[in-house]
Amino acid sequence: MTDFQTILDEIHHEIRPLLAQGAVADYIPRLASVPHEKFGMAVVTLDGQLYQTGAATEAFSVQSISKIYTLTLALQAIGDRLWQRVGREPSGNAFNSLVQLELENGLPRNPFINAGALVVADVVLAASAQPRTQLLTEIRRRADNHGLRDDPEVAISEKAHGFRNAALANFIRSFGNLDHPVEEVLDFYFYQCSLAMSCVDLARGFLFLANGGRCPWTGDTVLSADQAKRVNALMLTCGTYDAAGDFAYHVGMPAKSGVGGGIVGVIPNRLAVAVWSPALNAKGNSLAGSAALELFTTKTGMSIF
């Protein structure tokens, strides 16, 4: 049997030299004050065992990891019709890039770049009378933590500096691919990005994707097995932005990252693993977190390939 606890402790020890490298996201000023050297990691297996190391229960800003949950709500609401408004190809560009949108008539490449997430947010706004409550309730159930909440200071900080996202939303709306006012879409998007979760929350909160779309503790069918398989495929190809190829090469599992320094991955039918270290590499993924997940798949011998 795999000794996950020993492996996590080894990883924590081995990544220490990396904690001084990379840079905390400072384009959202509230995130710039998070200590650089934080590190946490958690694994939850399908049979409910939890393993953790470091600051695994400390909540941090999930940022783009929230895009998994809004995508889930959008798929629950409109299923495959979503793909008329957003694509499923890696973009090969930065997560907040504008360039492709003009060439591709306001149809974002995939749901995980910011442009795609704004369209998904628009779909959730149309489908729900109380989108914030619905999203929060969904995340609390999936993570089995009813104390989870957003961090309004992070949302305010991002809104005050969110010129690029505002540009993206306005541009998409000019092509008719947003139905709600830009301000409303941005407010919901900044809200989702400001949700705060720990590695333990995130590992628990992604376990439904390792379990054919079913939440192991509530028994809820969150997504059909077919949809869960496809969300995992999208995470593999687009979940770590324009580093997705390199991430698949080095780590070998579907994963979603955020500029708060979190990365969550799943090994279907086995486990979910979450890591947090705030300093990012040039592609906007946690530097030590990416290395920790590479060590994890190497030491456990687990990978989807």
95 binds ligand GLN (CB under 6 A): yes
Residue owning tokens 């509530």: 218
Q: Is 258 in the site for ligand GLN (CB under 6 A)?
A: yes
Question: Does the protein bind ligand GLN through residue 114 (CB under 6 A)?
Answer: yes
- 198 noted as active-site residue: no
User: Which residue is closest to ligand GLN by CB?
Assistant: 64
Residue whose entry in the numeric block shows the structure tokens 């500096």: 161
Active site residue 229: no
Q: Residue 87 contacts by C-beta under 8 Å, 6 or more apart in sequence?
A: 104, 107, 108, 109, 110, 116
Q: How many CB atoms lie within 10 A of CB 65?
A: 28
C-alpha–C-alpha distance, residues 157 and 141, integer Å: 27
- Indicate whether 262 belongs to the interface with ligand GLN (CB under 6 A): no
- Least CB distance from residue 268 to ligand GLN, whole Å? 24
Residues 61-80 that bind ligand GLN (CB under 6 A): 63-64
- Does the footprint of ligand GLN cover residue 60 (CB under 6 A)? no
Dihedral over alpha carbons 105, 109, 112, 114 (to 10 degrees): -30
Active-site position among 44, 61, 66, 67 = 67
Contacting ligand GLN (CB under 6 A), which of 193, 197, 243, 275?
193
Cβ proximity to ligand GLN, 62 vs 228, nearer residue: 62
| Interaction of residue 171 with ligand GLN, rule CB under 6 A | no
Amino acid at 47: D
| 220 contacts 214 by C-beta, under 8 angstroms | yes
CB 54 within 8 A of CB 41: yes
- Residue that the structure tokens 């933590």 belong to: 145
- Kindly tell me which of 225 and 282 has the beta carbon lying closer to ligand GLN: 282
Structure tokens at 221: 């069918």
What type of residue is 32? A
The amino acid occupying position 160 is A
- 189 annotated active-site: yes
- Per-residue binding letters, 269-298, with ligand GLN (x by CB under 6 A): ---------------x--------------
Residue 122 binds ligand GLN, judged by CB under 6 A: no
Task: Decide if residue 240 touches ligand GLN (CB under 6 A).
Answer: no
3 state SS of 140: helix
Q: CA angle 55-191-72, nearest 5°?
A: 85
Is 108 near ligand GLN (CB under 6 A)?
Answer: no
158 touching ligand GLN, by CB under 6 A? yes
Residues in contact with ligand GLN by CB under 6 A are 63-64, 95-96, 114, 158, 165, 193, 258-259, 284
Active-site amino acid positions: 64, 67, 189, 241, 259
